[in-house]
């Protein structure tokens, strides 16, 4: 495919564009879903095409096509679109400089999931379901596996040519239980259909779906009979399976520089952050250290190069509670006089790269599990995201979890509550953080469905964190009685 | 874009290659052009073109699907081979789901050609330039104008064929003035519905009215929900609770409530693809002819959306609402809420103190069985006192059960608007609710 891509770059140069990049992306995927021990979905997909971006006189056009016989025609369409864009343009697009490379990158893995017998994958999910059903009286059980093999060829008029082979594996299980008029769900290893990583089938084996199935089955059945989560201001210990969402919504999205510049204003909104806050703004307490790290081993937001051909980087976002960085692309970084942070990512061949999260990780603290608990006299340990909503400046949030474990006098009492919901204002909330779990407690979760943009794009991103403690958080607002 | 005869030729070829294999072929073609603007200038102007073939093979209770957009003869033959192989290894599903056998053919080739003419690349820019030029110097706009030129074709080894052209346009814009915003949006398959200039004016008027908002206490208020707000709630209600599959999964708020009064008797909700204000798609993703559903009749929960699998499970017929994802079952795509008898002025006049809400932001489900949702008001929220708009207010978060809120409807507007839903658009009025519980305030 490299020849077709580089030939197209030459064709675009011949058309006298100021800049162009061409991305060929081919994604092969496999989805397996089971429900109540039966196969619910068995599907595979091949999706391939080419996306062409051009800049002419500071105006941008993008056109994408699946039919590889229409590449030149589509290139001319991208040029026509750029010429149209120029008619309503105040500021010329300027790309920050980058290193020109000819390189390749591949996800490291031990076992190709596409080589694993289909029957083995189905049987794995069914075995986990059997364990769940044996453990508790459940209304329903489900299991899910998904694998993506993404092949990319990138070239631009500056001379870069990059090949990437990215492999993704993910899966999870769920137990449903209900009593009277309430349905309760427990998921393992997390919500969003499970945990995902850029890794091979070994990642699925390490999830130990079967070994962890009985616990969530018991918890689902117990939740169905549990009391509603209490209301009030309580100390919270938030598990990594929920911190993932907390980081995603209240740090990951607000630091996207295109959002800060207003690009998403009509859709999911803007951000409370401004460029002038860099280096000064107290985002949270001084133990908060967050990085955007596209090099995290196995991260779902890990790659060799972003979709502008910028090398993967690890950047400070929040250091000792102070805002230090944004997620940037070549054009937005240029507005700040910086080089790109390598966060321009497109959903497939058919979409223009936007600024997307990579792996936005909360770095570990120094507290053991016992120390985290010991500091709580009356509080809750919250696990696994279930519901999320945040305002259009990314300030007022309200998140729901699957389960709350009661903490009294520094100990888990064994009592659980259903339907826990907590709410806050982003910087006030992060200021309430007074303890973060140590490295051994740190876990990485992959989110395969981060939505942004028009037309809508879905990004695969990662978040690492350890259980984290917050003081006096508003809990229980979801009980609308 | 394949014509009907071209699409049917591809289907025939694939079915011939399948031999004795039971096969369903679905072809979807998509050409989309979208012009996005922010800060009153274009920042994304894009086009995409794709053609996808989906093969579903079955044998008894076994079923497998292969999807590809690699469409050379060799690659399509490989796809047929792959789906056959996958079927061999597939485990059995719970039930055997037969392919659709009748009627032989359904065609829906009508579309509004003016949409294609007026909203091409140059047309979109021309319309946006006109619309943006009427904003005052202290205003900035963000939003998008897009054209969707799609088709769907389907056939199977039982000999049926289906073809539909699906052409629509979407517009939305937030207009901002000194930090306050207004919004307008429209999705339609009828060019005559679009006046981009008027839509910009509407958003600008809301922004003007929103200057110097006041803070009010979050608590329960009577509310007038404009169509964009109603459409947002209806989309989530439908996704969460109007499919038979959601009842089978036990997550619908209609579980154990069919035949019961769940909303005010003023509310009736249908799914009606034949209504002249909904888009034209007379069959579903399994080729089943789409039926009209009376989902809520005078507040009583009546009928649910079925695909083949959920229907087989409940021992009834599919209603023709498959969206091609058996895990989700049927989903109504042509939602129509019955209009009422009040005009906007009458609804305002009847409020001593309450809120007028333009739209909601980031709706999500808190408790599915009780239909408890949360979300924030956005782009035009106003305090009403003694029947008049008194002041704009800072946006609020609501958290409330819609079973409760929609049981206390005091008025419904005569006028309805087309509001985008997950895949098309719904036709909805404004609603006056006796109360909606607000649980937080957006900080600025």
Q: Report the complex ipTM.
A: 0.95
Which residues in chain A have their CB less than 8 angstroms from residue B41's CB?
88-91
- The reply to whether B257 and B127 lie within a common domain is no
What would the mean pLDDT of B144-165 be, rounded to a whole number?
97
- Taking 70 as the threshold, does the pLDDT of residue A27 lie above it? yes
State the greatest distance between any 2 C-alpha atoms of chain B, in Å, as a whole number: 73
pLDDT at B397 exceeding the cut of 90: yes
| Closest to A41 in 3D by CA, of A129, A132, A127, A122 | A122
* Cα–Cα distance list, A351 to A64, A164, A347 (Å): 7, 18, 6
Q: What is the pLDDT of residues A156-187, one digit of tens each?
A: 999 999 999 999 999 999 999 988 778 899 99
Query: Considering the domain A2-225 in this protein, what is its CATH number?
Result: 3.30.2290.10
Question: CB–CB of A45 and B49 under 8 A?
Answer: no
Same domain for B250 and B109: no
pLDDT digits (tens, 9 = 90+) for A372-416: 999 999 999 999 999 999 999 999 999 999 999 999 999 999 999
Q: List pLDDT tens digits, range B42-80.
A: 999 999 999 999 999 999 999 999 999 999 999 999 999
Q: How far apart are the first and last CA of chain B?
A: 47
* B372/A119 CB distance under 8 A: no
Domain boundary among B158, B188, B205: B205
Residue of A169, A168, A175, A92 lying closest to A131 (CA atoms)? A175
| B296 and B229 housed in the same domain | yes
Q: Which residues contact A29 (CB under 8 A, 6 or more apart)?
A: A44, A45, A47, A146, A147, A148, A149
How far is A249 from B363, CA to CA, in rounded Å?
14
Clarify whether residues B193 and B218 are in a common domain: no
CB contact under 8 A, A89 and B41: yes
- Out of A46, A183, A392, name the one closest to residue B378 (CB): A392
Pick the range with the lowest mean pLDDT from A293-302, B92-101, B337-346, B404-413: B92-101
Residues B144, B199, single domain; the answer is yes
* Residue B145, beta-bridge partner list: B35, B171
Residue A481, pLDDT above cutoff 60: no
Instruction: Mark whether B190 and B268 lie in a shared domain.
Output: no
Structural domains in chain B (count): 2
In which residue are the tokens 């439908």 written?
B238
Nearest CA in chain A to B220: A480
Q: What is the pLDDT of residue B28?
A: 97
Q: How many beta-carbon pairs below 8 A join chains A and B?
A: 263
Distance CA A407, CA A379 (A): 5
* B244-299 per-position pLDDT tens digit: 999 998 889 999 999 999 999 999 999 999 999 998 899 999 999 999 999 999 99
Q: What is the pLDDT of residue B325?
A: 87
Q: In the prediction, which pLDDT does A478 show?
A: 57
Is residue B144 domain-shared with residue B240, that is, in the same domain? no
Shared domain check, B134 and B198: yes
Q: Which two structure tokens, joined as six digits, stand for A305?
A: 């190069």
Instruction: Indicate if B45 and B140 belong to the same structural domain.
Output: yes
Q: Per-residue pLDDT for B443 more than 90?
A: no
- Shortest distance between the Cα of A88 and any Cα of chain B, in A, equals 5
Q: How confident is the prediction for chain A on average, in pLDDT?
A: 96
Interface of A with B in 71-100 (CB under 8 A): 74, 77-78, 80-82, 84-85, 87-91
pLDDT at position A308, please? 98
The last residue of one of the domains, among B152, B180, B205, is B205
Q: What is the pLDDT of residues B318-336, one digit of tens each?
A: 999 999 988 889 999 999 9
Q: How many CB atoms lie within 10 A of CB B220?
A: 14
Check residue A208 and give left, alpha or beta (phi > 0: left; psi -120 to 50: alpha).
left
Average pLDDT over residues A328-349: 97
Which of B45, B218, B256 should we substitute to test contact with A (largest number of A Cβ atoms within 10 Å)?
A: B45
Question: What distance in Å separates residue B141's CA from the closest CA in chain A?
Answer: 8
Give A 410-469 residues with CB within 8 A of chain B: 419, 421, 423, 425, 453-455
Both B193 and B227 in a single domain? no
Tell whether B96 and B190 lie within a shared domain.
yes
Which residue, A110, A125, A120, is CA-closest to A298? A110
Among residues B205, B225, B241, which one ends one of the domains? Answer: B205
CA atoms within 13 A on the CB side of B106: 22
What is the helix (H) or strand (E) element at residue B237, kind and residue range? helix B227-241
Eight-state DSSP code of residue A119: H
pLDDT band for position B88 (cuts 50, 70, 90): confident
Q: The domain that contains B17 carries what CATH number?
A: 3.30.2290.10
Q: What is the mean pLDDT of chain B?
A: 95
Q: Where are the domains of chain A?
A: 2-225, 228-475
Beta bridge partners of A267: none
Please determine, for residue A138, whether its predicted confidence score (pLDDT) is greater than 90: yes
Going by C-alpha positions, the residue among A112, A116, A123, A248 that lies closest to residue A168 is A112
Cβ distance of A46 and B172 shorter than 8 Å: no
Distances (CA, A) of B8 to A271, B4, B21, B107: 49, 6, 18, 11
Mean pLDDT in residue range A204-220 = 98
Task: Say if residues A146 and A43 touch (Cβ distance below 8 Å).
Answer: no
Percent of chain A with pLDDT over 70: 99
Give yes or no for a contact between B215 and B393, defined as CB atoms under 8 angstroms apart.
Answer: yes
CA distance B295 to A162: 53
Q: Tell if the CB–CB gap between B64 and A392 is shorter than 8 Å.
A: no
B278 and B241 in one domain? Answer: yes
* Lowest mean per-residue pLDDT among A127-131, A477-481, B130-134: A477-481
- Minimal C-alpha gap between B48 and chain A (Å): 5
**Given a cut of 90, is residue A467 above it in pLDDT?**
yes
Structural domain including B17 reads 4-205
């Amino acid at each position: 495919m490299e020849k077709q891509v580089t030939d197209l770059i030459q064709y675009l140069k011949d058309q006298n564009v100021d800049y162009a990049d061409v991305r060929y992306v081919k994604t092969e995927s496999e989805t397996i879903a089971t429900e109540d021990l039966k196969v619910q979905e068995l599907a595979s997909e091949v999706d391939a095409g080419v996306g062409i971006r051009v800049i002419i006189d500071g105006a941008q056009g993008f056109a994408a096509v699946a039919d590889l016989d229409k590449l030149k025609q589509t290139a001319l369409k991208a040029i026509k679109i750029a010429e149209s864009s120029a008619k309503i343009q105040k500021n010329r697009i300027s790309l920050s400089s980058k290193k020109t490379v000819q390189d390749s990158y591949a996800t490291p893995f031990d076992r190709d999931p596409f080589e694993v017998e289909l029957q083995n994958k189905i049987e794995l999910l069914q075995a986990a379901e059997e364990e769940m059903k044996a453990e508790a009286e459940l209304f329903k059980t489900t299991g899910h596996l998904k694998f993506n093999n993404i092949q990319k060829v990138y070239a631009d008029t500056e001379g870069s040519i990059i090949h990437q082979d990215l492999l993704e594996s993910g899966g999870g299980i769920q137990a449903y239980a209900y009593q009277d008029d309430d349905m309760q769900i427990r998921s393992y290893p997390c919500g969003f259909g499970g945990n995902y990583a850029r890794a091979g089938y070994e990642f699925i084996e390490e999830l130990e779906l079967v070994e962890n199935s009985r616990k969530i089955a018991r918890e689902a059945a117990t939740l169905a009979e549990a009391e509603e989560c209490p209301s009030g201001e309580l100390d919270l210990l938030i598990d990594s399976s929920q911190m993932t969402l907390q980081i995603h919504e209240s740090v990951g999205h607000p630091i996207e520089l295109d959002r800060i510049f207003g690009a998403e204003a009509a859709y999911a909104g803007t951000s409370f952050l401004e460029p002038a806050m860099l280096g000064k703004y107290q985002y949270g307490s001084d133990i908060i250290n967050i990085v955007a790290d596209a090099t995290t081993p196995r991260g779902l937001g890990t790659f060799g190069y972003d979709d502008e051909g910028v090398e993967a980087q690890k950047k400070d976002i929040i250091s000792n509670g102070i805002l230090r960085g944004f997620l940037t692309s070549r054009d937005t970084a240029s507005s700040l006089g910086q080089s790109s942070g390598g966060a321009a990512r497109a959903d497939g061949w058919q979409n223009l790269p936007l600024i997307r999260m990579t792996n936005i990780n909360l770095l570990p603290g120094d507290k053991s599990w016992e120390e985290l608990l010991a500091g709580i006299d009356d509080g809750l340990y919250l696990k696994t995201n279930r519901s999320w909503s945040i305002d259009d400046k990314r300030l007022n949030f309200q998140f729901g979890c699957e389960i709350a474990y009661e903490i009294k006098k520094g100990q888990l009492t064994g009592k659980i509550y259903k339907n826990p919901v907590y709410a806050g204002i982003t910087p006030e909330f992060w200021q309430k953080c007074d303890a973060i779990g140590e490295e051994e407690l740190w876990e990485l979760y992959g989110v395969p469905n981060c939505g942004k943009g028009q037309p809508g794009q879905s990004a695969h991103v990662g978040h690492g964190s350890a259980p984290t403690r917050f003081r006096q958080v508003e809990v229980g607002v979801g009980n609308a009685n | 874009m394949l014509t009907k005869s071209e699409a049917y030729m591809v289907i025939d070829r694939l079915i011939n290659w399948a031999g004795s294999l039971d096969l369903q072929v679905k072809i979807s073609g998509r050409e989309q052009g979208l012009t996005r603007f922010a800060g009153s200038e274009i920042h994304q102007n894009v086009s995409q073109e794709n053609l996808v073939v989906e093969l579903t093979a079955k044998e008894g209770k076994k079923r497998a699907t292969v999807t590809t957009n690699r469409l050379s003869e060799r690659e399509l033959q490989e796809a047929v081979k792959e789906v056959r192989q996958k079927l061999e290894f597939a485990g059995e599903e719970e039930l055997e789901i037969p392919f659709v056998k009748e009627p032989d053919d359904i065609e829906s080739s009508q579309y509004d050609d003016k949409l294609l003419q007026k909203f091409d690349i140059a047309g979109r820019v021309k319309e946006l330039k006109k619309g943006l030029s009427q904003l005052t110097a202290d205003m900035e706009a963000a939003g998008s104008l897009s054209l969707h030129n799609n088709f769907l074709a389907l056939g199977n080894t039982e000999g049926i064929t289906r073809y539909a052209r699906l052409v629509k346009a979407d517009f939305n814009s937030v207009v901002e003035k000194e930090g306050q915003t207004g919004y307008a949006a429209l999705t339609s398959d009828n060019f005559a519905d679009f006046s981009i200039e008027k839509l910009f004016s509407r958003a600008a008027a809301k922004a003007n009215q929103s200057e110097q908002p006041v803070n009010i206490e979050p608590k329960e208020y009577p509310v007038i929900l404009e169509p964009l707000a109603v459409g947002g709630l209806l989309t989530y209600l439908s996704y969460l609770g109007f499919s038979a599959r959601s009842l089978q999964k036990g997550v619908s708020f209609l579980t154990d409530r069919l035949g019961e009064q769940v909303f005010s008797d003023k509310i009736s909700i249908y799914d009606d693809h034949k209504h002249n204000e909904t888009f034209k798609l007379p069959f579903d993703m399994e080729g089943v002819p789409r039926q009209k559903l009376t989902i809520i009749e005078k507040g009583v929960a009546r009928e649910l959306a079925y695909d083949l699998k959920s229907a087989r499970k409940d021992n009834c017929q599919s209603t023709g609402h498959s969206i091609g994802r058996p895990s989700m079952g049927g989903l109504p795509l042509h939602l129509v809420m019955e209009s009422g008898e009040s005009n906007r002025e009458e609804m305002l006049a009847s409020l001593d103190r309450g809120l007028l809400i333009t739209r909601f932001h980031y709706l999500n489900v808190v408790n599915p069985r009780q239909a408890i949702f949360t979300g924030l008001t956005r782009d035009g929220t106003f305090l009403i006192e003694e029947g008049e708009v008194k002041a704009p207010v800072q946006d609020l978060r609501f958290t409330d059960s819609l079973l409760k809120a929609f049981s206390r409807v005091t008025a419904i507007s005569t006028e309805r608007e087309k509001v985008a839903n997950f895949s098309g658009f719904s036709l909805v009025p404004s609603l006056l609710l006796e109360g909606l519980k607000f649980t937080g305030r957006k900080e600025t």
